[in-house]
Amino acid sequence: MLKPYKGQRVVAKCAIDRYPHFSVPALSLGTVSVSQLPDTVCVKMDKPVEGCEPWDNCVHCSSLADFYYSFEDVLVCQLEAALTIIYEGDNADEHHEWLKNTCAALKEAGSVHWVIAKFLKA
């Protein structure tokens, strides 16, 4: 797994409960930002989360394990979906443009996943 980096776009893999303060719904989007605490990953959520205001709408993960349990890289999710489409043999025209755009985003991001994505032949 890649270490989280500032500016990384992520999606909540599951509902994230920070009882009694707030709960973040699954599939919520956010961006990894700088944390002032060592070994803590901070994710600023795109949409306001009720109760999260004191933390500037950021979810703090106290460890990398907590981060990996709660969040997934958005580009990785897109790549997994693209590979599923190809694996299932669905090469319909409406998916071709999406696959092409996903590969372009991976390449532009300089992601190590580009090594895999280049084989998509979009």
Helix or strand or coil: residue 60? strand
pTM: 0.66
Instruction: Please state the domain extents for the chain.
Output: 9-73, 74-120
pLDDT confidence of 82, banded at 50, 70, 90?
low
Count Cβ neighbours within 10 Å for each residue of 92-122 and write b for 16 or more, e otherwise: eeebeeebeebbebbeebebebbeebeebeb
CB 48 within 8 A of CB 31: no
**What whole-number distance in Å separates Cα of residue 52 and Cα of residue 45?**
10
Tell me how far apart the alpha carbons of residues 81 and 63 are, in angstroms, rounded to a whole number.
27
Q: What's the pLDDT tens digit per position in 31-58?
A: 999 777 777 899 999 999 999 999 999 9
